[in-house]
Chain A
């Protein structure tokens, strides 16, 4: 079983709509959680960290459910520029090693 699993999508989303997707992780001792965004042929870039109480950054809302070992990302009022692959990233130890999900592809259509 992979340490971090994501629905690969693609999620085809009309512009202005809301899309949400989850990521599950297998290591219950995981310490930190992140969503990264990766555009085609570009490096991953941090979208947001995920805090235990849930957090928002503009149109993006991230939540953590430690009991069920998943994190989620919700995008409201989708823009065409939100089209990308969203990587779920989990830090499993204190010195920096990260586990990456394979990514969820989101395609926002006009």
Chain B
């Protein structure tokens, strides 16, 4: 199974600021996925990040709010822009190798 790391593991941010979350995988993967898990809820897919093309966003998520980079086959970033308290959540990246494996998550609190 893939080994996935995320940075930062947690952060507390002021509203109106932006935070970039990094995801690193120990092997090359075609697709990486970004999820959000709000308190007490299950995972919601934000977008799929393919290397060399624009990310594909799910309904309710837009590139201006959640820009994604995918510069190579082992790395991706998700930026949470112009944050509000409603963005407080756990953000997880994952990769698909027959099934999906998740990074440890980034716990974000927006004040």
Interface on A for B, CB 8 Å cutoff? 32, 34, 41-46, 49, 87, 89, 95-98, 100-103
Q: How many A-B Cβ pairs are below 8 Å? A: 38
Could you tell me the distance in whole angstroms from the C-beta of A96 to the nearest C-beta in chain B? 4
Query: In whole angstroms, what is the CA distance A98 to B107 when docked?
Result: 22
CB-based nearest A residue for B31: A96
* Chain A residues near B103 (CB-CB < 8 A): 43
CB-based nearest A residue for B104: A43
Query: In whole angstroms, what is the CA distance A88 to B43 when docked?
Result: 11
- The residue that A46 contacts in the complex, of B31, B43, B92, B101, with Cβ under 8 A, is B101
Interface on B for A, CB 8 Å cutoff? 31, 33, 41-45, 48, 92, 96, 99-105, 107
Known A-B contacts A34-B99, A43-B102, A43-B103; A100 and B31 likewise in contact (beta carbons under 8 Å) = no
* Chain B residues near A97 (CB-CB < 8 A): 45, 48
Asked whether A98 lies within 8 Å of B42 as measured between CB atoms, the reply is no
Query: In whole angstroms, what is the CA distance A32 to B100 when docked?
Result: 12
Could you tell me the distance in whole angstroms from the C-beta of B17 to the nearest C-beta in chain A? 24
